[in-house]
Structure formats: C-alpha cells, structure tokens
Amino acid sequence: MLDQIPKLSFAERQELIRCAIEVDDPGLNSEEEAILAKRLQGFHPDEKSGIPLEDLSDRVQKNLRSR
C-alpha cells in the first residue's frame, strides 16, 4: 500500500494525510492514567524558578528593539 502513495496526486496525498490525522485517538488506558496521576501528584513547580509574564514580555520587547 505504501508504494502507491507516490502515485497519488497532490490533492489525494493531502486527503490521505487529513484522514490519517483525524483517526480517533484511543486515549489512555487505566495503567497509563495511573502513571500520569502519580507523576502529577509529585509535580509542584517552584514558583521562584520563573518570571512573571509581564517581565518576560518586557525583556523580549527590549531585546527586539536592540537589534
């Protein structure tokens, strides 16, 4: 089947890609959900490790103006 893809028109390849992207995601199974829940419980971001959005925006704007 894959060897037929190069023979498709551009529009047909776009449709194929669109269909592949739209395939339903089965989601997480119960084991994966348990792993995720355990990892989220241990996640406590350090509030001192970041900067406020306004400060970041100011820094970016200042950096862009200096170029």
In which region does residue 27 sit, left (phi positive, over 0), alpha (psi from -120 to 50) or beta (all else)? left
Contact 36, 44 (CB under 8 A): no
* The pLDDT of residue 43 is above 80: no
Which band of pLDDT confidence, cut at 50, 70 and 90, is reported for residue 50?
A: confident
Range 39-60 average pLDDT? 84
Please state, in angstroms and as integers, the Cα–Cα distance from residue 34 to each residue in 6, 11, 21, 38, following that order: 42, 42, 27, 6
Contact 27, 35 (CB under 8 A): no
User: How many residues are listed for the chain in this entry?
Assistant: 67
pTM of the complete model beyond 0.75: no
pLDDT at 33: 94
